[in-house]
């Protein structure tokens, strides 16, 4: 298989031609959600970015094993080595078993992903279900001499590792700068040096999530799960590791160090990171009052939102920016995305109404080439959308007869547009046009009755149907060969 896909590799800071280790198989690991709160806007971007990559690789004929984990243990307050487990805090506050909390929010995450038309990964391992693998990895790192035990906890020895390996290469940090920028330990910690990070933590008496290990009854450090589970399901070397840019340091840097310490080399060849979302120019955060859950977006139930936005509008909005660019959410930007998506979907529906002619005055192959070139160029979804929009105009010209298309070209136009808009960008023709399961057929039925009334010169009935539809927000436009309708 000949791949033309070029991906930006964070590790080398270069765009590289994507070459899988064992084509046609591709192994892809993406850091998934933590499950101690409602899925929010911050979850949508990585999920959609790697869904786009997953869909495109599959469309290229690759057999992709896509692993996306669920972090249900070890994620401590402030992402630090000390403090309570965030999931356990939630469980204690709500008087629940921690796994009840994890299940509850995992289910909500899945529902939100379904709404966003994000395909489920091939494997979705839970950190809490892979404690044995994590203990084994800690032991391997200890055996290789890159970790030490201290009062029942085990820490990764960053400075020792950095003597012979490039700690900081992924995030572009220099070990000397990191050392001089850290404060000295206050004497309370079991760590030898500030940069060291926990592989295993001894549980304090009040800590409820705990497992037996050779060093203590405790729990794994947060970075460990991804190192252990990616290798378990994808092998010691695999193709792609993805996640949000906020995970690059320390999480991904620590993952590379752990895998390298254990096996002598890093596990992933291509590191792919999506950029962050801001809201009205600000970072999203609970303390800033601009934290928006996906459910609030879909319902419009948040003080910052002037209306509800359908999951497809959110998806389309995210795809309108390149995944490595920042993306700013605002009502104006979302409303513009909604209008754009409506136009695109309306044009896709118009394709079915085009009457083919003898010959084509349009070049369908050019659309396919532009879409493929854009996707191959580091998943440039905004360029795909811009090519599709150029064709919205052409489709309307083909419909009103100012341009013509042959039957064969019309068939391939339909195929190309459906492939890129629905299969690869993952858009769905529903919510925004209102032409979902029932509305569409009902409107079509009424408009057929109106056509009959017009044919019978029963103008009163014809007007009654059109005015009734207008009142409920459905605009009807008469054309010489029938009619068109859309939701206003
Ligand atoms: Zn991870």
Q: 385-426, pLDDT tens digit by residue?
A: 999 999 999 999 999 999 999 999 999 999 999 999 999 999
Residues, CB-to-ion distance under 5 Å, ligand 1:
31, 226
CB atoms inside a 10 Å sphere around CB 217:
12
Give the Å distance between the CA of 181 and the centre of ligand 1. Answer: 25
Q: What is the pTM of this model?
A: 0.87
Q: Is 28 helix (H, G, I), strand (E, B) or coil?
A: strand
User: What integer pLDDT is reported at residue 284 of this predicted model?
Assistant: 83
Instruction: Provide the H-helix boundaries in 60-174.
Output: 86-94, 98-115, 131-143, 158-164
Question: For residue 463, what are the CA distances in angstroms to 1, 24, 459, 478?
Answer: 58, 59, 6, 12
- 69-118 tens-digit pLDDT: 999 886 665 555 666 777 778 888 888 888 888 999 999 999 999 999 99
- 334-374 tens-digit pLDDT: 999 999 999 999 999 999 999 999 999 999 999 999 999 99
pLDDT band at 476; cut points 50, 70, 90: confident
Give the Å distance between the CA of 251 and the centre of ligand 1. Answer: 6
> Facing residues of 478 across strands?
483
Which contiguous run of DSSP H or E holds residue 55?
helix 41-59
Nearest Cα neighbor of 265 from 3, 21, 8 is 21
Give the Å distance between the CA of 127 and the centre of ligand 1. Answer: 10
What is the average pLDDT value for the chain, to the nearest integer? 92
Is the model's pLDDT at 200 over the cut of 70? yes
pLDDT band at 162; cut points 50, 70, 90: very high
Is the model's pLDDT at 185 over the cut of 90? no
Q: Report which DSSP code applies to 34.
A: B
- Rounded CA-CA distance 4/23 in Å is 13
Give the Å distance between the CA of 253 and the centre of ligand 1. Answer: 10
Cβ–Cβ < 8 Å for 300, 351: no
> Facing residues of 40 across strands?
293
Give the Å distance between the CA of 242 and the centre of ligand 1. Answer: 9
User: What integer pLDDT is reported at residue 78 of this predicted model?
Assistant: 52
Give the Å distance between the CA of 484 and the centre of ligand 1. Answer: 49
Give the Å distance between the CA of 295 and the centre of ligand 1. Answer: 25
Is the model's pLDDT at 431 over the cut of 60? no
217-220/197-202 β-pairing: antiparallel
């Amino acid at each position: 298989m000949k791949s033309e896909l070029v991906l930006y590799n964070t590790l080398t800071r270069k765009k590289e031609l994507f070459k899988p280790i064992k084509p046609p198989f591709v192994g892809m690991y993406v850091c998934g959600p933590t499950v101690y709160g409602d899925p929010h806007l911050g979850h949508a971007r990585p999920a959609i970015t790697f869904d786009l990559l997953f869909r495109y690789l599959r469309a290229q004929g690759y057999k992709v094993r896509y692993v996306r984990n669920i972090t249900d243990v070890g994620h401590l307050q402030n992402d630090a080595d000390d403090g309570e487990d965030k999931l356990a805090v939630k469980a204690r506050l709500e008087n629940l078993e921690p796994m009840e909390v994890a299940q509850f929010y995992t289910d909500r995450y899945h529902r939100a992903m379904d709404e966003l038309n994000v395909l489920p990964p091939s494997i979705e391992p839970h950190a809490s279900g892979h404690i044995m693998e994590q203990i084994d990895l800690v032991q391997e790192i200890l055996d290789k001499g890159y970790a030490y035990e201290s009062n029942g906890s085990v820490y990764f020895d960053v400075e020792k590792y950095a003597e012979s390996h490039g700690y900081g290469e992924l995030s572009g940090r220099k070990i000397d700068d990191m050392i001089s920028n850290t404060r000295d330990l206050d004497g309370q910690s079991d760590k030898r040096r500030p940069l060291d990070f926990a592989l295993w933590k001894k549980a304090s008496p009040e800590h409820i999530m705990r497992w037996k290990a050779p060093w203590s009854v405790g729990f794994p450090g947060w970075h460990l799960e991804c190192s252990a589970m990616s290798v378990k399901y994808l092998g010691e070397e695999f193709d792609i590791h993805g996640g949000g840019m906020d995970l690059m340091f320390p999480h991904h840097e620590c993952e590379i160090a752990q895998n390298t310490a254990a096996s002598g080399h890093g596990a992933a060849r291509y590191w792919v990171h999506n950029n962050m979302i801001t809201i009205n120019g600000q970072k999203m955060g609970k303390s800033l009052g601009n934290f928006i859950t996906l459910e609030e977006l879909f319902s419009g139930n948040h003080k910052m939102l002037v209306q509800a936005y359908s999951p497809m509008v959110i998806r389309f909005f995210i795809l309108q920016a390149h995944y490595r660019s920042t993306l700013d959410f605002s009502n104006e930007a979302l409303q513009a995305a909604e209008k754009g998506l409506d136009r695109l979907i309306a044009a896709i529906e118009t394709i079915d109404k085009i009457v083919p002619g003898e010959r084509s005055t349009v070049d369908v192959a050019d659309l396919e080439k532009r879409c493929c070139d854009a996707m191959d160029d580091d998943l440039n979804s905004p360029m795909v959308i811009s090519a599709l929009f150029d064709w919205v105009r052409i489709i309307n010209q083909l419909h009103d007869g100012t341009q013509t298309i042959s039957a064969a070209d019309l068939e391939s136009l339909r195929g190309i547009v459906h492939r890129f808009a629905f299969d690869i960008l993952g858009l769905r023709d529903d919510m925004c046009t209102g032409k979902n399961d029932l509305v569409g057929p009902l409107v079509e039925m009424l408009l057929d009755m109106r056509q009959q009334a017009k044919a019978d010169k029963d103008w009163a009935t014809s007007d009654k149907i059109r005015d009734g539809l207008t009142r409920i927000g459905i605009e009807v436009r008469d054309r010489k060969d029938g009619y068109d309708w859309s939701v206003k």
